[in-house]
Chain A
Amino acid sequence: MTIPFLIIAFVTLVPAAVAMALRNLIHSSLLLIASWAGIAAFYFWAGAEFVAFAQVLVYVGAVSMIVLFAVLLTRHTRIDAGLAPDSIGRALAGLLAGGAVFGVLLGAVLSTPLRVGAKAAAQVPVKRLGLELMNHHTIALLAIGILLTVSLLGAVVLAATDSKGKGATP
């Protein structure tokens, strides 16, 4: 029961941590994709099949592509731009803040007695999810649809260049 979980946690956390430390952006992105896949594995392990596939489809399939395209379109060299002189202090401060947050969260989690439901979680059939989505959460669904449309248009407007103006930026 816990062995698969530990493997999944390892596969999720280690690539994420390494990705955040690497200077090669493409390697970071690819490692983060591995981490996202690990999270999908966690969903699968927890019995949320539908979410696991959605995670793979959206993150591994779509977000990864946007990220990789963005890296390639904005890159001078393969390496992350040189760090600013004050960056050692910044890195230390960031590490300290992150470590402090982790300490607080860990303490809070460990000191809370959590009761786990005795019965095994029932698989939620996809059909039930769909019906619930369409009955109780219709407004949220519509809002997500509008949000995605607006963000699609916004992304196009932001990233597009005028072809009729001074010409595309090189």
Chain B
Amino acid sequence: MKRLLRDRRGLFGLLVLAAIVLAALAAPLVSSGDPDTQRDIVATRFLPPLAGDRHGVFHPLGTDRFGRDVWTRLVYGARVSLGVGFLAVLLSITIGTAVGAVAAYWRGAVGALLLAVTDFALALPRVVLLLLLAALWRPSAALVIIVLGVTGWMSVARLVHGEVRALAARPFAEGAVALGAGRGRVLWRHLLPNALTPVIVAAALGVGNAILLEAGLSYLGLGVQPPTPSWGTMIASGRDTLVNAPWVATAPGLALALVVVACTLLGDALRDALDPARAGRER
């Protein structure tokens, strides 16, 4: 942890993510209230950033074509986008860890089958599958989480499989078996905790990716549905007003890029901090 904080990338990533999560959690406090509020559309639409309207409400990032405050929608949208991203990664990591661990520790038929399924799933075209799944059922945030989770677990399964197999051959694991610990206990208490390092790194990188894909699906109209603010739907609605109100699409895109940069840097720093061999070499 200390090493992580000394790494400028890790510190930056943590601070940015913490700030955005705080803003999302405290959305009602840091914004002007309801993200769907529309007062007098004609007078309040397309207000540029840093403008106030006649109702005495200040709009730090301006308003969209319905006179809704962009900053308010941005922080409420962060709840949706971050929430979907985190939950999707949580789901894919749970599936991936379970599959990888079981395949590594119960070799033979079960393990071979699970590995074959993993390889098969890795070969699936993810974007096509995402579009397909998202388009076939009624779009919603829950569906996006499930779709992203179900299409993203394979690399984690591979990682965990490799780690657990390597760890199972180590003396401490054999020692635990010799002391009479059951297979489940050895796996759960001794092997998995030691195998989690690369999983944490993969998770940090995966969150950024999941948030990007969520926004992409929502942008195409296959994810979170308007008027619920998510960064993808905000970019999509800003697309139509690019000429008169470029700030509507700009703000959520920048927010998105910031979060993904933060996740990526945090993931890089974590990998270096947790892997002593790399720590001295890379900056």
> Are these two chains actual partners, yes or no?
no
Residues of A within 8 A of B (CB): none
Residues of B within 8 A of A (CB): none
